[in-house]
């Protein structure tokens, strides 16, 4: 395993107006690791994701992907360097089929800068790859169904498929099980486990059962600082975490 962290945050700061939202966040995610970010509402989890994926630039500090600085790059540049993210709010093309949605993501990852003949060859590859991803996310039989006619859980699975379709080694999932029933959540956990095998996963998740089942390590974000970053067992036993979050009867816990 590489000694260079897959993803590293060094003293990252971000303020909105006069309010410091991310205040010296530090994190080192190893290649192949699954890490969950938890924390109370408003702790800055979404802001942190936006900073990592290039939607926001930090005011201070560094963000590194496989040792290379990515802070300040645009989202598509971060994506090209091997980091893909999903969104809380649906990102699907409603009228396109499940297959076409995935194929768009595959073609995007291949780039549109090729000649026409090269594009045709890529299209063949893209079709094969899109079908492989559909099979992986369990939607092969729903291949030609427009995204808007899929069930909610299928739409969320499709979003995960779109995120991994380009083959990015580092994947950010934003509340992947939000709004799901218990059984849908169970299936989604299994899906995430399968599709992120061999990749590095960073996820924001409010469902503690999912977090404790999936994560190798958990980062606890409180007021824009990572106050604990450890194994699930150690985080569960951490008095600061209990005081700040887990024991506090948080609405999401």
Ligand X SMILES: Nc1ncnc2c1ncn2[C@@H]1O[C@H](COP(=O)(O)OP(=O)(O)OP(=O)(O)O)[C@@H](O)[C@H]1O
For residue 1, the minimal CB distance to ligand X (Å) is 30
Q: What angle, 0 to 180 degrees and rounded to 10, lies between the N-to-C axes of helices 98-110 and 152-165? A: 20
Residue closer to ligand X, measured from CB, 41 or 115: 41
Contact of 23 with 225, CB cutoff 8 Å: yes
What are 157's two structure tokens?
A: 């699975």
In the sheet that holds 170-174, the strands lie side by side as: 83-85, 170-174, 200-204, 34-38, 217-222, 225-230
Place of tokens 């009228």: 95
For residue 182, the minimal CB distance to ligand X (Å) is 21
Residue closer to ligand X, measured from CB, 44 or 166: 44
What are 71's two structure tokens?
A: 């802070």
For residue 106, the minimal CB distance to ligand X (Å) is 29
For residue 156, the minimal CB distance to ligand X (Å) is 17
What are 197's two structure tokens?
A: 């095998």
Say how far apart CA 244 and CA 29 lie, in whole Å: 23
Helix (H) or strand (E) run with residue 55 in it: none
Helix (H) or strand (E) run with residue 57 in it: none
For residue 163, the minimal CB distance to ligand X (Å) is 18
- Strand, coil or helix: 42: coil
**Does the protein bind ligand X through residue 82 (CB under 6 A)?**
no
Site residues for ligand X, window 161-190 (CB under 6 A)?
Answer: none
Among 6, 7, 9, 21, binds ligand X (CB under 6 A): 21
Residue closer to ligand X, measured from CB, 137 or 172: 172
Residue closer to ligand X, measured from CB, 107 or 228: 228
Helix (H) or strand (E) run with residue 233 in it: helix 232-237
Residue closer to ligand X, measured from CB, 137 or 220: 220
Count of chain residues binding ligand X (CB under 6 A) = 10
For residue 174, the minimal CB distance to ligand X (Å) is 9
**Does the protein bind ligand X through residue 16 (CB under 6 A)?**
yes
Closest CA to 203 of 222, 218, 185, 181: 218
Residue closer to ligand X, measured from CB, 20 or 169: 20
Burial class (CB in 10 A: 0-12, 13-18, 19+), 28: middle
**Does the protein bind ligand X through residue 89 (CB under 6 A)?**
no
For residue 93, the minimal CB distance to ligand X (Å) is 25
Binding mask 35-74 for ligand X (x = CB under 6 A): ----x-xxxxxxx---------------------------
Residue closer to ligand X, measured from CB, 42 or 67: 42
Contact of 211 with 232, CB cutoff 8 Å: yes
Sites of contact with ligand X (CB under 6 A): 16, 21, 39, 41-47
């Amino acid at each position: 395993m590489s000694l260079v962290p897959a993803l590293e945050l060094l003293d990252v700061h971000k303020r909105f107006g006069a309010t410091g939202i991310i205040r010296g966040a530090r994190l080192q995610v190893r290649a192949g690791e699954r890490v969950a970010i938890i924390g109370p509402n408003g702790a800055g989890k979404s802001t942190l994701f936006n900073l990592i994926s290039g939607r926001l630039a930090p005011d201070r500090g560094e963000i590194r992907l496989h040792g290379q600085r990515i802070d300040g790059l645009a989202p598509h540049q971060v994506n090209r360097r091997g980091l893909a993210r999903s969104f809380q709010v649906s990102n699907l093309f409603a009228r396109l089929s499940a297959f076409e949605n995935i194929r768009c993501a595959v073609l995007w990852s291949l780039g549109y800068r090729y000649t026409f003949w090269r594009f045709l060859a890529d299209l063949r590859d893209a079709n094969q790859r899109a079908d492989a991803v559909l099979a992986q996310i369990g939607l092969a039989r729903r291949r030609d169904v427009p995204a808007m006619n899929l069930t909610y859980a299928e739409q969320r699975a499709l979003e995960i498929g779109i995120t991994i379709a380009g083959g990015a080694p580092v994947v950010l999932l934003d509340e992947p099980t939000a709004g799901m029933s218990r059984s849908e959540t169970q299936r989604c956990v299994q899906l995430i486990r399968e599709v992120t095998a061999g990749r590095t996963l960073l996820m924001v998740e409010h469902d503690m059962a999912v977090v404790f089942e999936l994560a190798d390590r958990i980062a606890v974000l409180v007021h824009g600082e990572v106050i604990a970053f450890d194994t699930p067992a150690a985080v569960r036993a951490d008095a600061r975490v209990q005081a700040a979050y887990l024991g506090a009867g948080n609405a999401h816990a």
